[in-house]
Amino acid sequence: MTDPKSASAGNTQVVRFDESDRGKRLDVALVKGTSGLSRSQIQRLVSQGNISVDGVISSKSATVLNGSETVVIRVPPPAPTSLLAEDIPLDIVYEDNDLLVVDKPSGMVVHPASGHRTGTLVNAVLAHDPNMAGIGGEQRPGIVHRLDKDTSGIIVIAKNDLAHRFLQAQFKERTVEKSYLGLVHGVPPSANGRVETAIGRDKKFRKRMAIYHEKSSKTRFAVTRYSTVEKFDEWTLLEIKPITGRTHQIRVHMSYLGCPIVGDLLYGNRRMVSDLYGLRRQFLHAARLKIAIPKGDTRIFNSPLPKDLENVLTQSREV
């Protein structure tokens, strides 16, 4: 196979196969012979009529190669999005041509969904950089990972398709290091620990996730590490490192330990610290993220505790 030209959004790439490719499936061979296209993307391009073999539009991803074909791949530009760009201020920690790192405030939803069509991080990002529309998906452009609405802190957004795949792969392979600060009720069973369970949707309350002791097709394995940072009379400040990235993982695991996140009404004690210190959300903050960026080096991004959370700690120390 000859080295293909780089494939990016809105261009054309030519791949010439040789004897070493004989007997391979078209989609499998193209994944190895293209720059940055996944197998599912190749299959989608085939179904859209954007891949031709020796001048004929291909209709089957499973076509077996004889080892002498010339394949032309057309990568169309991102589909126009129906999402609205909104001029919402962003606390930008870092930005280059490939990614945007934002310190997300509590109360901001990451992407539009039922009940949250506007005012999201995605709406703000589209106003900041309209060229990100459609990157990685029409409804969630640029989104690589998520934070809950009331969780503040570091979040990374991809600015092009190659960066999106590069960053997503690290989350999938668990090479990203994520560190949260969370204040929990009570004291964990040990000062430092590790929680390993299966997590799935709660059968009775669909907005919640639940712990399952038996794995099934509807659950996913989840691992969380934690260590004690500071102890108070009624709660404990933890550094929490999720190894996997399941929905509500930290909140579910802390509740499973009998130490729910302070202020978490979905999984925890309904008596909030707001009774004393004015807290109006869960005490969970994405404080640190270590990740390789497409430019080739590894970066560490940090976010200081927001004032509302720092105030809880200050007041707790004075009691």
- The verdict on 198 and 299 lying in the same domain is yes
pLDDT category of residue 9 using cuts at 50, 70 and 90: very low
Nearest to 182 by CA among 253, 267, 282, 255: 282
Evaluate whether residue 3 is within a structural domain.
no
Domain count for the chain, please give it: 3
Other beta carbons less than 10 A from residue 281's beta carbon: 22
Considering the domain architecture, whether residues 116 and 168 belong to the same structural domain is answered as yes
- CATH code of the domain containing 124: 3.30.2350.10
CA distance 162 to 293: 11
Q: Domain check: are 187 and 310 in the same one?
A: yes
Residue-wise pLDDT for 169-215, tens only, equals 899 899 999 999 999 999 999 999 999 999 999 988 888 999 998 88
Q: How far apart are CA 283 and CA 265, in angstroms?
A: 11
Q: How far apart are CA 31 and CA 28, in angstroms?
A: 5
285 in any annotated domain? yes
Catalytic residue among 21, 27, 103, 148: 148
The reply to whether 42 falls in a domain is yes
Tell me: do 140 and 156 sit in the same domain: yes
Active site residue 148: yes
Would 2 be classed as within a structural domain?
no
Are residues 254 and 186 part of one domain? yes
- pLDDT at residue 8 in the model: 44
Q: Is the pLDDT of residue 48 over 90?
A: no
Place of tokens 């106003």: 127
Q: Which domain holds residue 20?
A: 11-75
**Residue 234: inside a domain:** yes
* Boundary (domain end) residue, out of 173, 201, 222: 173
Q: Which of 126, 146, 173 is the last residue of a domain?
A: 173
pLDDT at residue number 299: 97
